[in-house]
């Protein structure tokens, strides 16, 4: 096989090298395209065919339904690792040894206090504010409380900023929910593991002793692992592109949180639950909503179905589906919303429209059901996604800086007016 691609433009042939990844994915390296062709560019709305970087973090094959972090199968990680081990793996490239993990956790705990003045910022938000807006703002505000920018050439400096954000972010997540619920702001306990601590910070009541529920700890651990990275999706690309201007880690993460908020991305888990509620309130007729989803005149889409990359069952959705069944039966939850979800899933998997377009339930279809059973308010679902995605964003930001990637700056094809002479206001 030739290791170049030939592009013929207006009768002139141009040759470009091929880049082959470790899983034999092939990319055409068009770095020299504009120079060689005197300004010809490529157009690819939504970047459906465009690779923005080479990355050694996450591999996914949407056709085969494969997802691996640093070479490890998501199924093994969800089954055998905990969230902090996965975070370490994603960020630093290898599973930690026992000593490395103990040190990593100890360093994170040392950083798990947020400046008390952050409470004043939180206080200024109305209770009605969407938690994703609050989280994005508080993450950005951390920059003000930690003003020295990271020296990316120093491993020690990089490490410090990584443990700092891993320590402080869960506090911001918990405070965001506590603000919404009118609960006093608290801190966790350094005697707990990372995920246990998250749950304690979120759910502890001022007048009751907090008791851990291992079923919830296990389910949340799995959910966070499954969300921890997903290569160059919308929010991760945002983190990389913002970071590529050498904006700091916290500012880049804050931008990633905003990107995740949208209902076509991380906001889908909230949108799924809202859709299921609406179907229930409308009498629970799933067939009616299947019809609406297929009607091209109707803007309604079946939230939680379809994926830009997976054209097969999302491997994360398979694991989460089992976890959702376990959590609901362990907690003894009977929920009409779940029956509607199961009905929609069954119908969609047999429906020609969905089968033909390879629209399978995605990870968000089931995650919201688990969060709801855990007692997490619907508006907080995307915040939980952000907590899970944090290690992936950090890993991608770190990789981008270590590889000294250039500033992200796409091109365009201009389709506006040609030159026009300026008209003074009395002539318009």
Active site residues: 307, 364
CB of 32 to ligand ACO, least distance (A): 30
Residue 345's H or E segment, with its range, is helix 336-350
**Alpha carbons 240 and 423: distance in angstroms, whole number:** 42
Q: How far apart are CA 223 and CA 237, in angstroms?
A: 22
**Minimum distance from residue 295 beta carbon to ligand ACO (Å):** 9
Which of helix, strand or coil describes residue 151? Answer: coil
Nearer to ligand ACO, 248 or 368 (CB): 368
Q: How many CA within 13 A on the CB side of residue 82? A: 12
Q: Where are the alpha helices (DSSP H) in 295-335?
A: 315-331
Closest CA to 85 of 222, 211, 180, 204: 222
Measured from the CB atom, is 244 or 362 closer to ligand ACO?
Answer: 362
Is 280 or 292 the residue whose CB approaches ligand ACO more closely?
292
Q: Least distance (Å) from ligand ACO to the CB of residue 381?
A: 11
Cβ-contact 69, 90 below 8 angstroms? yes
> What does residue 69 show for φ and ψ, rounded to 5 degrees?
-100, 125
Nearer to ligand ACO, 11 or 46 (CB): 46
The vertex-233 CA angle with 337 and 387, nearest 5°, equals: 60
390 in Cβ contact with 253 (< 8 Å): yes
Least Å from the CB of residue 305 to ligand ACO:
4
Q: Which residues bind ligand ACO (CB under 6 A)?
A: 264-266, 268, 293, 301-308, 357, 359, 362-364
Output the DSSP codes for 62-99. TTTTEEEETTEEHHHHHHH--HHHHHHHHHHSSPPPHH
Helix (H) / strand (E) containing 308: none
- Residue bearing tokens 């020295």: 148
Query: Measured between alpha carbons, how far is 371 from 223 in angstroms, rounded to an integer?
Result: 9
Cβ pair 315, 61 in contact under 8 A: no
Residue tagged 């299947």 (tokens): 290
Backbone angles phi, psi at 21, to 5 degrees: -80, 175
**Measured from the CB of residue 272, what is the shortest distance to ligand ACO in angstroms?**
7
Q: Which is nearer to ligand ACO, 96 or 266 (CB)?
A: 266
For 225-267, give the DSSP string: HHHS--SS-HHHHHHHHHHTTT--HHHHHHHHHHHHHSTTTTT
3-state secondary structure of 127: coil
Min dist CB 230 to ligand ACO, Å, is 7
Between 203 and 366, whose beta carbon lies closer to ligand ACO?
366
Task: Find the shortest distance in angstroms from Cβ 233 to ligand ACO.
Answer: 6
Q: Please, which residue, 37 or 52, has the CB nearer to ligand ACO? A: 52
Tell me how long the chain is: 428
Query: What residue is closest to ligand ACO based on CB?
Result: 306
- What are the structure tokens assigned to 132, written together? 């994703």
Q: Cβ of residue 399: shortest distance to ligand ACO, in angstroms?
A: 21
Query: CB-wise, 20 or 264, nearer to ligand ACO?
Result: 264
* CA distance linking residue 304 with residue 292, whole number of Å: 15
């Amino acid at each position: 096989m030739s290791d170049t691609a030939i592009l013929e433009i207006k009768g002139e042939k141009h040759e470009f090298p091929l880049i082959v990844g470790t899983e034999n994915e092939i990319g055409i390296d068009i770095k020299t395209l504009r120079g060689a062709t005197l300004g010809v560019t490529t157009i690819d709305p939504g970047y459906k065919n465009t690779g923005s970087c080479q990355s050694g973090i996450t591999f996914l094959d949407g056709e085969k339904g494969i997802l691996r972090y640093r070479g490890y199968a998501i199924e093994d990680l969800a089954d055998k690792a905990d969230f902090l081990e996965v975070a370490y793996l994603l960020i630093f490239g290898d599973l930690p040894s026992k000593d490395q993990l103990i040190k990593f956790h100890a360093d994170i705990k040392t950083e798990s206090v947020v400046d008390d003045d952050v409470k004043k910022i939180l206080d200024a938000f109305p209770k009605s504010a969407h938690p994703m807006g609050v989280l994005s703002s508080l993450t950005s505000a951390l920059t003000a409380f930690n003003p020295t920018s990271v020296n990316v050439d120093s491993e020690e400096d990089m490490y410090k900023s990584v443990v700092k954000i891993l320590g402080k972010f869960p506090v911001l997540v918990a405070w965001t929910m506590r603000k919404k619920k009118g609960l006093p702001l608290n801190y966790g306990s350094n005697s707990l593991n990372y995920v246990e601590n998250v749950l304690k910070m979120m759910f502890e009541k001022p007048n009751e002793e907090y008791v851990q529920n291992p079923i919830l700890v296990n389910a949340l651990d799995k959910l966070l692992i499954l969300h921890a990275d997903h290569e160059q999706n919308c929010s991760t690309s945002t983190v990389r592109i913002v970071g590529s201007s050498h904006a700091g880690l916290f500012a880049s993460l804050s931008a990633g949180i905003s990107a995740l908020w949208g209902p076509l991305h991380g906001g889908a888990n909230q949108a799924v639950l809202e859709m299921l509620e609406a179907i229930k309130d409308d009498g629970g007729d799933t067939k009616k909503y299947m019809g609406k989803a297929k009607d091209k005149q109707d803007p309604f889409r079946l939230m939680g179905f379809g994926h830009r990359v997976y054209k097969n069952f999302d491997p994360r959705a398979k694991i989460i589906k089992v976890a959702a069944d376990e959590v609901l039966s362990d907690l003894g939850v009977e929920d009409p919303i779940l029956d509607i979800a199961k009905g929609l899933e069954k119908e969609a998997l047999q429906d020609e429209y969905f089968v033909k377009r390879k629209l399978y339930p995605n990870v968000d279809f089931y995650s919201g059901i688990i969060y709801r059973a855990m007692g997490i308010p619907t508006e907080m679902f995307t915040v939980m996604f952000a907590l899970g995605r944090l290690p992936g964003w950090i890993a991608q930001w770190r990789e981008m800086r270590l590889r000294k990637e250039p500033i992200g700056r796409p091109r365009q094809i201009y389709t506006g007016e040609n030159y026009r002479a300026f008209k003074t206001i009395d002539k318009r």
